[in-house]
Structure 1
Amino acid sequence: MGLAPTASPPSAPAAGCPPSCATSPSASLTSLVAGPGILYGLGADGITTFSAGSGMPAKLSTTALSGTIAGAADGAGDLYVLTSNGVYGYTVASGGTLTAQNSQPLPSGLSPVGITVTGNGLAITGNASSGIETAYYPASGGTISGPSTTPIAGRGTATAITASPGGHYVFVSNGSRADLLAYALSPGASGATLTSSAVLRTRLMPAAALSVPVTVTLQPQTLYVVNQSTTSIAAYPIESGGTLGTPASAYTCNACTTNIADQGPSAAAIAPDGLHLYASDWAQAGQGDVTTFAMTSANGPLGAPSSIPAGQSPMGVAVDPSGRYLYVANSHYDDSTGQSTGGTIDGYQLSQGMPSPFSTGYRTQVYGNYPMLLAIDPTGRFLYSSEFAGSLVDAFAINPDNGSLTPASGTLGMSSAAATGTNPWTIVIGPSGRHLYVSDNGNGGSQTSGAVSIFSINAQNGTLTSDNGVATTDLKPLGLAIGPKGRRLYVAMQSGALDVFVRQNPQSATGTWNYTPTVIKGNFANAYGLALSADGKTLYVLDDCTAPNYNNGSIQAISIPSFSSMTGAGYATIGQYATHACTVQAVAAGGFN
């Protein structure tokens, strides 16, 4: 695709003209771009610079420029602005006055959306008649060169663009297909070029939000593994291809002793911004804790823990998608009697990642008995709890103003709950938010198979309707995971078996899975929990410990084949890692957030 005629660069203020005599844009600011010690405010008809030192920003100068859409600044503070007809480069003086350097035209027919600084240049994205187009412009010191190659085309609708911290990759969020287009920036004799790298699925977005720009960033991937018997959480770096590196451990439960299988951390969840991890800390028939860890930008070892009280023997942990509320399920299990009496869910307000109990509605009674794990739907409107001893799932509505919980139907009871099989354990929600899945762990006796209960979620009030389920190939299903496209359901069984169910249309109003499961053969003895890498290409199976030493747990990494390759042989073990602990849960962080 060719380039449009060269755009005319904007006129710089006359020589010697102080900032006060520069043209003042009449339109309100639509976005801000941060540079070192300076802010650039972009409006429809110009740019305003502000000081960004200590205290409140102070206006420095204004520069006229029509049709501004987005901007980006490099490390030197040079500003690059994307407009409806071109890309403009500026340098900035100490007083905040911008000096126009030059401009370059847009690819012909492109409706621009976003711009980012990467490597030694700029990447822009937008939409054309054929779909998404992304182009790279070499740039330095505010001066922009024309792209050396034609734009890269992609299917869908571009909504935002960003670059990896090292400047080696560019990512475009695709609103109409809910995925990310990844491009590698490759150096060359005539300048760097972009090449298509990958398409990665994200969570499905509601249709009403498709036009809202979103920001995407890349961080290293880490698998955080909850080891209960050693009372630790280990951080395994996820390496290229999905294998795991040497773990870094953090968190010691000083109140717990080692080599006892049923105490220590029970579950964990990561905040949507990837900056905090929360873990429930089991207690022997008494009050437990919820512990917060700050996470580094590299998703490596966890920071120093900070604990606050939870209820009796806490289990499941969940954070709402907005990152404002944290919930912990208190099982009320008593180790001395082996019984649970009732159960509650505690709610916490999050401020800069740190939890504090709700001022009202802090503790909510569940209808069932022994709340196990929690799940929140993608819209953040509903919370669900699997009741292990009650053989049901409780549904609650989340108050968006204060996070408090109320029964989904308005009344605590079966009108807000749904019956499952025996001893429901893991609970997950598909990426579309239409269906909820529960592993029924208690099936046994003379039975030769287990079950996963499946429910449709009422989009209006969050109540559940049975949508049949699937029979597993062996007993005692426990761990569950859903693929990022919602087309594969992974089920781990304590017998050591692992089933994969598939379906053709994850957007279907029915949750029917229409294939006999593929059975993955692995070196499992007590398959307990499952986790998926951010790109959905690697499955991690947690093999829990066994008596009498409780130190023989492990993690098995399995590569996931393409959807067209559904035989068991297509799932290859790429690594097995001894944890020397009772490994009960794992959560993946990093990747494309």
Structure 2
Amino acid sequence: MHQLRSSRKLSPSFFFSGFVRTIVCAALVTLTACGGGGGGGGGFSLPFLPGAPAPTTPTTPEAPAGATYTVGGTVSGLFGSGLVLQNNAGDDLAISSNGSFTFAQPLAKGESYAVTIKAQSEILTRVCNVSDATGTVADAAITNVKVDCAVPAARFAYVANLADSMISAFKFDATSGSLTPLAVPLVATAKPFSVAVDLRGRFAYVASPHFGTVTQYSIEPATGALSPASVPTIAVEGPYGVDIHPTGRFAYIASAAKNIITAYAVNGATGELTPTGAAPVPTGNTPLRVAVHPTGRFAYSANLRSNDVSAYNIDWTTGALSPMDVPTVPAGQAPYFLTIDPTGRFAYVANESSNDVSMYTIDPNTGVLSPLAATVATGPSPSTVTVDPKGRFAYVTTQADDQISAYAINDVTGALSPVADGTAATSSGPFSATLDPSGRFAFVITNNSSDLYSYDVDANKGTLTLKKQPYAQVGTGAVTMTFSP
């Protein structure tokens, strides 16, 4: 019925014929005659009543004079406070959380906008960049400006070779994932276990547990070359690493020999480490490293010989550590290191003797660790857990079977589950794995080979594909690898 009605052409002769014509004639009493009759043609005509009007296109109402519109967008990946945005070099807007933002000063139609970053967040592990930042206001608010905060791209890489007392230094190609030895490819240092780099890529710290020292270096910005600092070493009993606070203001060193963690202040100009003056905090038996939460509010240490994890609050002003209300939680047997996922919600510990990974959720307000009900089984002798930069996959190296295995991370619970076809072969004795900041490339450090195996990471599945030879060459007894921005 609708189709029949809509398809009939309603012409002027329809409106002005028969009964309808009579009604119109009666209404127009000022006319002297209507004339005509029936359904034929005739003399009825109304010069001021045209035929059926032509279809018209609706138009958008004009904005009222003086109308203004806001400029805004969204922020993602941000940790901490201190980020300040500007529009047109003014209208400062402080941002302290992810989500939408709107500048206070509206703009009129035809005015330009240009959103820039005036100050980065205090958390230096993330660098924020703006996209869709410029344009001209039309007849609506601007809502599509994007501020994305992410780990900065790597330019250099350093490998600690424990057996031959050398640091291997490379230039890193973030596009291809290739490593090229620097002009000075090896730096002599005493039995290094790890290299830590400050968050701006200016200083490096080499931990040597066998000699009880931390050696400090400056990094040449253009070449990545290491040179000894003015105060080359500090004494620490049994240091396996230097772990830097996300603001870059403090560093923490665990003493595996004395079962304590000491807080240090970082000199922003020289990189020199000096004790803050706060009393060292006790740990469990044999802490190897300190894991600092991405927000900089909490810290944790896995304790190798007491099979537990110690948890601490961090004083934002002084950097001092204090035990949490729940100071320890259990781990498996011989836990090496604790790894925190990039979102700061989950933590993982590889347990070498029980061949599994302990999993924890992290309370966002208190930092307290809550163990998941079960562990996840691994291959024999797992040593490290590495989480990809987007927090979707985790990788576990197992030394006794020369493999690295991929696990998917449940976004709600943090639980790990094996990835299909997620196991890849490595060289002999894989101790640790490192992913570059983009998450596209993975590198496995092995104790018993000078070949540095590298892999392409499948962004959707998390699987690893071994790159073709030739492999980058490192020293003897390599144990850890670190990237520098």
Q: Please give the TM-score of this superposition, normalised by the length of structure 1.
A: 0.57
Alignment partners' CA distance in 2, 1:579 and 1:43: 46
Does the CA contact (< 8 Å) of 1:522 and 1:573 recur in 2? no
Does the CA contact (< 8 Å) of 1:221 and 1:299 recur in 2? no
Does the CA contact (< 8 Å) of 1:476 and 1:494 recur in 2? yes
Alignment partners' CA distance in 1, 2:275 and 2:253: 11
Shift of 1:67: 7.7
1:499 match? 405
Does the CA contact (< 8 Å) of 2:426 and 2:444 recur in 1? no
User: What runs of 5+ residues in structure 2 fail to find an aligned partner?
Assistant: 1-84, 93-104, 119-128, 137-141
Q: Which moved more, 1:428-437 or 1:233-242?
A: 233-242
Alignment partners' CA distance in 1, 2:431 and 2:296: 27
2:122 match? none
1:282 match? 209
1:460 match? 365
Does the CA contact (< 8 Å) of 2:160 and 2:167 recur in 1? yes
- DSSP 3-state at the match of 2:176: helix
Q: 1:416 aligns with which of 327, 330, 342?
A: 327
- For these two proteins, the number of residue pairs brought into alignment is 366
Does the CA contact (< 8 Å) of 2:180 and 2:472 recur in 1? no
User: What runs of 5+ residues in structure 1 fail to find an aligned partner?
Assistant: 1-41, 45-65, 71-82, 87-103, 117-124, 127-131, 137-145, 147-153, 159-172, 179-201, 204-217, 257-263, 333-341, 410-414, 444-449, 546-551
2:101 match? none
Shift of 1:458: 2.1
2:345 match? 434
Alignment partners' CA distance in 2, 1:455 and 1:115: 36
Considering only CA atoms, is the larger Rg found in Structure 1 or Structure 2? 2
Aligned AA (1:560): V
* Residue 525 of structure 1 pairs with residue 460 of structure 2: no
Shift of 1:517: 5.8
Shift of 1:360: 2.9
Shift of 1:468: 4.0
* Residue 357 of structure 1 pairs with residue 262 of structure 2: no
Alignment partners' CA distance in 1, 2:430 and 2:275: 35
Aligned AA (1:246): P
Output aligned runs, 1:23-172, within 5 Å: 68=90, 106=112, 111-114=113-116, 133-134=132-133, 157-158=145-146
Q: 1:573 aligns with which of 430, 446, 467?
A: 467
Shift of 1:469: 5.2
2:163 match? 229
- DSSP 3-state at the match of 1:541: strand
Output aligned runs, 1:451-490, within 5 Å: 451-468=356-373, 470-490=375-395
- DSSP 3-state at the match of 1:372: coil
Alignment partners' CA distance in 1, 2:157 and 2:375: 29
Alignment partners' CA distance in 2, 1:43 and 1:512: 40
1:315 match? 240
* Deviation sequence 1:180-213 (CA, Å, 0-9, x none): xxxxxxxxxxxxxxxxxxxxxx26xxxxxxxxxx
Does the CA contact (< 8 Å) of 1:317 and 1:327 recur in 2? yes
Shift of 1:69: 5.4
* Deviation sequence 1:336-381 (CA, Å, 0-9, x none): xxxxxx51112111112211112232x2221x11111221001111
Alignment partners' CA distance in 1, 2:266 and 2:433: 27
Against the structure 1 CA distance between its residues 43 and 373, is the aligned structure 2 distance closer, same or farther, given a 3 Å change threshold?
Answer: closer
* Residue 324 of structure 1 pairs with residue 258 of structure 2: no
* Deviation sequence 1:491-544 (CA, Å, 0-9, x none): 111021111001353xx2x21234456433334210101111121100000011
Alignment partners' CA distance in 2, 1:231 and 1:156: 52
* Deviation sequence 1:407-429 (CA, Å, 0-9, x none): 112xxxxx411111110012210
Shift of 1:437: 0.8
Aligned AA (1:581): T
Alignment partners' CA distance in 2, 1:433 and 1:156: 27
Aligned AA (1:325): F
1:266 match? 193
Percent identity at matched positions? 21
Shift of 1:229: 1.4
Alignment partners' CA distance in 2, 1:322 and 1:456: 23
Against the structure 1 CA distance between its residues 68 and 379, is the aligned structure 2 distance closer, same or farther, given a 3 Å change threshold?
Answer: closer
- DSSP 3-state at the match of 2:312: strand
Does the CA contact (< 8 Å) of 1:68 and 1:84 recur in 2? no
Does the CA contact (< 8 Å) of 1:69 and 1:113 recur in 2? no
Q: Select the structure with the greater relative contact order (CA < 8 A; seq sep ≥ 6).
A: 2
Aligned AA (2:351): D
1:378 match? 294
2:181 match? 246
Alignment partners' CA distance in 1, 2:86 and 2:374: 54
Q: Please give the TM-score of this superposition, normalised by the length of structure 2.
A: 0.68
